[in-house]
Each structure stands twice: as C-alpha cells, then as structure tokens.
Structure 1
Amino acid sequence: MTESTRFDDAWEQACTLARTTAADGHDVVLVRDLSGRSTLLIDDRDDELAPDSDRLTQLRQAFREQLGPFAAHNPVQTAAAMFSVDTFFDAPELIVLEEREEDLHGRVGVLERTVVGADWSGPGTGPEPVSSRAWPRIALYGFKGGVGRSTATAVLARHLAELGNCVLVIDLDLESPGVSNLLADPGAASRHGIVDHLVESAVGNADGLDLLAKSSLTPKDGNGEIWLASASGTPRNAEPYDYLAKLNRIYSDLPPEVPGAKPRPFAQRLEDAIAACEQQTEKKNGRLPDVVLLDSRAGIHDIAAVTLTRLCDHALLFAVDNPSTWEGYRMLFEQWKKQPDQARAMRDRLHIVAAMFHSAGDIDRLNTLRRHAYDAFVATLYDLPDDDTPEPYLPVEGDVDDKPYAPVPILFGNDLVGLDPQRSPHWTKLPFVRAAYRDFLRAVEELVHDPYEDLA
C-alpha cells in the first residue's frame, strides 16, 4: 500500500512546482486554502495560455500526482480565465518567495487562506514610527503562559508612573485577562473593554465607548498616572453583558463598509482599538500617554501575532529556560524568516526576558539561557539569505551584552504566587518585589527614554 502524501510534503511539492513554472518568466501565486489544498495561479495576461494546452494539462496532472489529497479540484488556473485577478496577484497579504528576474524568472508568491495565524508570516509593516506618535508601545509576550508576564506589566506600569510618566496599559489577553485584575479598581472600572470596541466598530458603532479607567496603583505623589484599558467592560446597574458572545465574533476579517472600500482585517481593527484607547487618555485628563504597555496573549494566537508584528516598537519576550520555550520561539522566528524584510524589522525590536529566574546571582545559569537564546536567533533571524553578515549581533566577551538575545532577569519569588492585589494594595512597593524586578525595570526604563536604543 502506497503511503499517502501528508500536509508538509504536499506543500514542499507545490512550492517546487511553482518555482519550476515561474522559470519560464510567468509570475505565479500559490494559494493554500483552509483545508490545506493548493492551487497554482499563472499570470498569463501578457501572453495568454490556451486552457487545454499540453503544458497546463501536464502541470495539473503533476499537481494531482504529487500533492495527492492536498491538490485542489482545479489545481492550475490562469489569470486570463479569472474574474478578479488583482485580488490574488496584488493582494496585500501576498508573501513573495522569489522576486521577478526581468524576463528570466517570474515572481513566486504565496497566499495562505487561514482562519487564524496569518499575521505571523504576513508582510508585517509594523506600527507608525515612534516620532509621529511621540510615545513608544512596548509589548510583553510569552510563548508559554504562566511566566509572570501580567505581573511584570503591573510592576512596570507602577515604576514608570513613579518616574512621572502617563502610562497606558492595555490588556490584550482577551481569553484570559490578567493584568486587568492587578490594576483595576472595582469602584472605578471602565464600562467597556477592548472586546466591546472590536464588536461595536464592526458595525460602525464605536463612538462614545468608555474604554479607560484610572488604576488604583497610580502613585499618590508626583505627576505619574496609570490608565487601564481592560479586556472586558464592567456593566452598570445590572446591564446585560455577554462577554463570550462578543469574544466569539471579533477575530474574523470583515468586508468593506461601502462598495469599493478596502476589507477590514482583524489586524487593522485591533490597531484601531489601541489608537482609540490612546486618544481617550487625552479626553480623560488632557494628557496623551508617555508610554503604552501591551499585555499580549500568550502562545500562537492572532492577537499575539498582530501585537508583535504590527503594534509594538519593542517586544519583551518572556523565556523560561526549557526546550519547549526555545522550540516555540524558533517556530515563530522561522515564520518571520520567510519574509527577510520583516525578519530584519522584528529582530531589531525583540528583547529576551529571563522570566521567573530561580538563581539570583548565578551567572552560569544566566549565560546558559543567553546561549540558548542566541542559538535560536542565529538559526533563524540572524541567518537571512541576503544578509551581508550572517550574524549581525555578534556576542560580546564578558558579562555585559546589549544584544537582543541577552536576557534581562526577573527573579522568582514564592510570595508572588497567588497574589491578591485587593488584599495587598501596596504589593508593588514590597522590598522583595523591588529586588526581583530591579534589572528588568532599569532595562525597560532605557527603552522608554530612548525608544530607538536596544535593551541594555
């Protein structure tokens, strides 16, 4: 019995056939649908190919034989026979595997038709420059959950506010809100949350939402402030509020609001929600934020993808030194590597955080974590095909290293496990908390003061 062609092998075969087809000068786009089936589109608008030509017949047969169940019903199609060509050959989410070489070799592009995950390997242009916004956005992300990311966000917010900053914290962990519970004041919670903006804006009804509340962790002295945009709103006077019904409707891309307009992808809708929160800080107190902290969803999730690739200027990657952590980060880095321009942009904004680090002062353990991080970077983001230098961030001899893979430690403390902020309202001031987060706070403080400098 012949072994069936599996998903990964089928995609490799499809990419090979696409490159071979492009070798005659035609641009091609390889489309993989929601079931993983592949279709090859050939741009023959300049020299139309006969739909029943021997060449196309042989190519369709090759797709069916080599891809097996992962070949589309009509696996090879030509632009001349298509209705809306530009939606494929000029799609904004097109991933270019090979550029066009005059008349010698056509462009090879890929379109992934997925329900989730497209933003990890999409073009990922990143946010507007910090200079045009005047405040940096810093994302806190962990491939694995339970690494203290939300607690670190709260501690960081308090520290930056103590320095006189207006800090906006946005809880993007919509499936498992965390930082909202650490920063929210039950008596002054916002009526609406991020999920409300995503639902209401889908039908053009986002004006007037109450998205922000001042956090009880705001310092009593000085000019510093902490504003919180929660994942969920807090209804008033027993108002109906169905959070799950809203959550189940936010991730899909939406059609244009009017004919001729552009579609509204989830990534753009989330970016609009962040911008609405930023502008509302000025409406609340006449002051725009000095820094925005994005507490991201963990794991491979659309929110995390958008947060890291589009929304933030700096991404703090929380890492516990174990194989599953580095396998996960390599998986993400490999996706970015598919787009070299995106990979370069991403590697310049990443900073490793040694989360829940158990051994205070143990340089050997910290160096081991640094080596594992470096290995992950070198195997992916530092080894791009058209780089002049394979390793743009060479390691530094000694203990001081300001490269993206150099971990900044947050020390582990049992007292932080199961923390109840309502029972311990001044927990961020406790000496063991200050000691555990000291290096981390100093490092991020440098990012805020000079958002173009790497974490040191």
Structure 2
Amino acid sequence: MATIRFHDALRLAAQALVRLELPPEPAVRLVRDLYGRLRFAVDCAQDDYPLQAREQLLAAQLALGAYATSNEVLFHDSFSYPAKFFTQQNWLRTMVSMGCNEDGEPLPDVPVLLLDRLVTGHDWLQPSHTQGKHPHRLVFFGLKGGVGRSTALCMVAWGLARQGKRVLLVDFDLESPGLSGLILPSERVVEFGVMDWLVEDAVGQGDSVLSAMVSVSPLGETTQGAVRVAAAMGAQESDYLAKLARAYADVPSEQGPQRLGVRLRRMVEALEAREQPDVVLIDSRAGLHDLAAAAITSLADTALLFATDSEQSWQGYRQLFSHWQRRLDVVSDVRERLAFVRALTPKSNRESGVKRFQRKAYELFAETLYDAIPQGSVDADTEYFHPTESDESAPHFPILVDWDERFQEFDPALRPEQGGATDAQVDATFGALIEWVTRRIDADGKHPEEVTYEHC
C-alpha cells in the first residue's frame, strides 16, 4: 500500500464522500486534527444513520493510513453536548482540489465542510472585517523584508499629513520592531507599545495602557496634518522577549477564546476612538504569519502587497492566494481589498520590466482569486469578478515605487537641510503610491456599485 502524505489525505477523504452512496442529508463533514489526521462527522445520532453507510465511512476513514484519526466516525453519541460541536462557527466550507485525470485534464473541486484544528493560521481563513464607520485602514505587507515596505509607509504617512490629514501609524511587526526607530527619536518614544497592550489585555488591563501608547512623530511637524505612532515596543523595555512569547495566545472571554485577529481589532478600534485619525497605516509583520493574517483579513480596508519580480515573491503569493482560493467566501471578501505594489522598480529597461510584472500579476490573480469565466455563452444574469489585464483600478494592476539608492539607508525624520530628501525627491519615488492611496481614501465612502472594473 502506498504511503499517504498530508497533501493526499484530504483529497482522498473528499473523493470517498463523492464515490460512496451516502444519504444526502445530513451531509458528512470532516474534522482534521493538529497533526493532519482526519475523521468523518455526521450531525445526527448514530442509530439514525444507515448501518451500511456507517461501515462505508469507517472503511474510507481507516484507508487514510497514518492520517486516520481513529476507528470511530463522529455522531451525536460521541459528545456530551453535540450541538456545541456541530454548530460552532469554525466549520468552514472548503474547496478540495481533485487534481487531474489520466489525460491531464483538471477535475472539478469538491466542496466539504471542514473543521480544521490549527496551531496557527486561523485568521487567514476567517475574515472578520470591521463593519461600520471607521477611518480608512491600510496595511503594508510583504512576504519578505528588504523591499522598502516600512520606508514607503513612512513616506505615505508624510504625503497624507502634507494634505492636512491626521495619520495614525501602528506597528504590527512585533518580531522585528523598527518603525519607531525610523520616525521617532528615542526621547519621543512613550511608555507602552502594542506588545504591552497584548499582554495587559490578556489579564483584563488593556485599557490602562492606551493613554501612553501613542507618540508624536517629527515627520509631521512640517505639514498641515500630524503623524502619530503606536510603536511595537515602549520606552525602556527590558522584558520584550518574555512578552513576545505570550503575545499570540488566545484570551478567554464570555463568548469563548478570543484569537489574535479579534484582539488586535479591539486594540485598533480603541486607539481610533482616542486619536480620531483620518487614516490608519499598519506596518504588518512580513511573511505568512498570524500577525499578517490578522492585519489583512480582519483590519485592512486596503492591503498593499509589496513584491519584486522574483520567483520568491511569485511563489509566496501563489501559496497564499491558493490557500484563500479553497474558500470562496474568503476570496470574495478579501480580493477587492488587495493592491499590488511593484517595489524597487529598476530604472533600466523600465517599460518592459513593468509590463512583464503586470502580466505575471494578472495571471496570478486570474488563476487564483478572479472568477473563472466559462468558455462559450455566458449567463447574462451572472456577474463575474474578472477585471481585464489593463484595468488600472484592478487589484493586480501594479502601483510603482521606483528603486532609488537615496532611500536605501534613509532617515525619514531628517529635513532636507540636514541631508534628508526634498519633497520633489520623495514625490519622484513615492508619488504614484501617495496619489493612489489618496484616491483610495477619497473613494472610501462610495457605494460598491460606484466602483467599477473593466471586465473580460
């Protein structure tokens, strides 16, 4: 018997549900534990489910080899309180890829209701975007460091403050805190940071640090607006690693455990209530991390995805988009909030390089997050979200930030007379991004049908 691997197990279990002659109701579900082992679950009493179907399910489950959880299919009889298990919100409708047939043609995906027990990564697949009125929130995200993400955030903050906006910056890069070092002199760093709020909130004292979490940045002093910063780390921090080891833990509440995404949203909402900013810029943790998941899925009105034309960037974003692709509700919730930023755009062969990047970005979105449009006749009553490659308002269409050695070791707080960049130099490199963000914020109050795309 061939060894079954992690990536095979879910597909084989879903295939069994299609192949077996099972009652249509109640639909059989799948539970996957922390190690990837699977078990079938049926929302009824065991004696109410046909004996032959029970035996078929058990045989299919045991056929998963090392990825079979046990010799038991879950029914109501397996629990003291079955309703609590079968009605919890963590059941997710998931599309399972069936791969290709013998001729190499793709087989249709199979939908299953999956309860996935994860150590981390819950927030990537459970968007809980804030509803109601709040300042526009932009998340700056990249798969890796070194692409100028934090510098771009600072320059966007300065550009918005120049327009008279009150800008709040929040540093979510807890494992590599550095935003305060970019735009805050050490004497301006206040007592507490985001890390302090997380550990104090775990014992019910989060509100007590809010009044000493935000610093005034000199970056906004020459503008009509203001730039204020909630740094990751407070002043004179001496216990940061001990706090970091506890920061991501779920926190008990009357409604059940609160995950990181919910907690961070509460913190941002509390800061917004105190600061009354016009816009919030969040510096996300790089990589496929829980902090990034919380920022993008739970908080972002706009998520700026920084990328270079490297295989590492394309492979990383394909992994993330393919992960979302299995959940159609996640795709529809997230995709219109995304925007690609072509970081460090080379000046040599610029036009051809930009066109190549745009084509790759379009292909990535078209194959993962955009709706597949059937060949031949298209139902006129069906709306497909699939912007054209040339649609400048589409999520895939790149916003360009040019490479400029002046900004590689750049201190945004320095004024031009001190060796800092002039307004013209900042605009030459970051002007397109600042203008794009400004239009996005101004369009924030529009009704969805007022924002249009060119469709294929």
The answer to whether TM tops 0.5 is: yes
Task: Work out whether 1:273 is the aligned partner of 2:273.
Answer: no
User: Partners of 2:373 and 2:191 in 1: how far apart?
Assistant: 50
Q: Distance in 2 between matches of 1:23 and 1:354?
A: 51
Deviation sequence 1:123-144 (CA, Å, 0-9, x none): x132224xx22x1001111122
Give the distance between the partners of 1:419 and 1:299, measured in 2 at CA: 23
Is the contact made by 2:182 and 2:412 (CA closer than 8 Å) also made in structure 1? yes
Corresponding residue for residue 394 of structure 1: 388
Partner residue, 1:151? 151
**C-alpha separation in 1, matches of 2:83 and 2:203:** 27
The counterpart of 1:312, out of the listed 290, 293, 300, is 300
Distance 1:317 1:266, change over 3 A: same
Distance change (3 Å), C-alpha of 1:279 and 1:429? farther
Matched residues, number: 424
- Within 5 A, what are the aligned runs for 1:8-407? 8-19=7-18, 24-45=24-45, 48-49=48-49, 53-65=51-63, 67-97=64-94, 108-122=112-126, 124-129=127-132, 132-133=133-134, 135-209=135-209, 210-222=212-224, 224-235=225-236, 241-256=238-253, 258=254, 261-281=255-275, 288-359=276-347, 362-383=350-371, 388=382, 392-396=386-390, 401-407=392-398
- Structure 2 CA distance for aligned equivalents of residues 206 and 305 of structure 1: 22
In 2: Cα distance, 1:174 partner to 1:454 partner: 37
Task: Tell me how far 1:421 sits from its aligned partner.
Answer: 5.1
For residues 85 and 313 of structure 1, what CA distance do their matches in structure 2 show?
37
Aligned to 1:72, what secondary structure does the other structure show? coil
CA distance, structure 1, for counterparts of residue 300 and residue 68 of structure 2? 38
2:401 corresponds, among 405, 410, 414, to: 410
Q: Is the 8 A contact 1:428 1:434 kept in 2?
A: no
1:363-398 deviation digits (Å, cap 9, x = unpaired): 2211111100000000011135999355521233xx
Shift of the 303–355 alpha-carbon distance from structure 1 to 2, 3 Å rule, reads same
Contact 2:180–2:189 under 8 Å retained in 1: no
CA shift in 2, pair 1:12/1:23, >3 Å: farther
State the secondary structure of the residue aligned to 2:69. Answer: strand
Matched, 1:442 2:425: no
Could you tell me which amino acid in structure 2 is paired with residue 404 of structure 1? P
* Cα 1:403/1:55, change in 2 over 3 Å: closer
Superposed displacement of residue 221, structure 1: 4.6
Unaligned 5+ runs, structure 1: 99-106, 282-287
Q: Counterparts of 1:339 and 1:62 in 2: how far apart (Å)?
A: 24
Per the alignment, do residues 454 and 128 of structure 1 end up closer, same or farther by CA in structure 2, a change over 3 Å counting?
Answer: farther
TM-score with structure 1 setting the length: 0.86
Pair 275,43 (structure 1): closer, same or farther in 2 beyond 3 Å: same
C-alpha deviations, 1:333-366, integer Å up to 9, x for none? 1222222222122111111111010127822211
Question: Is this contact kept in 1: 2:151–2:412, CA < 8 A?
Answer: no
Q: Which amino acid aligns with 2:266?
A: D
Give the partner amino acid of 2:410.
L
CA distance 1:250–1:178, change in 2 (3 Å): same
Change (3 A) 1:166 1:376: same
Q: How big is the shift at 1:23?
A: 5.0
Query: Do the aligned residues in 1 keep the contact of 2:359 with 2:389 (CA within 8 Å)?
Result: no
Secondary structure of the structure 2 residue equivalent to 1:382: coil
AA at the equivalent of 1:217: L
Q: What is the deviation of 1:57?
A: 3.4
The range that moved more, 183-192 or 81-90, is 81-90
Deviates more, 1:19-28 or 1:382-391: 382-391
Residues of 1 paired with 2:413 and 2:303: CA distance?
29
Instruction: Give the whole-Å Cα distance in 2 for the aligned partners of 1:165 and 1:345.
Output: 28
Amino acid at match of 1:438: G
Q: Distance in 2 between matches of 1:455 and 1:227?
A: 35
Rounded to whole Å, the distance in 1 between the matches of 2:330 and 2:115 is 16
- For the residue of structure 2 that corresponds to 1:432, the secondary structure is helix
The 1:316/1:426 distance shift into structure 2, 3 A limit, reads farther
Gaps of 5+ in 2: 96-110
**TM-score normalized with structure 2 length:** 0.86
CA distance in 1, matches of 2:118, 2:393: 37
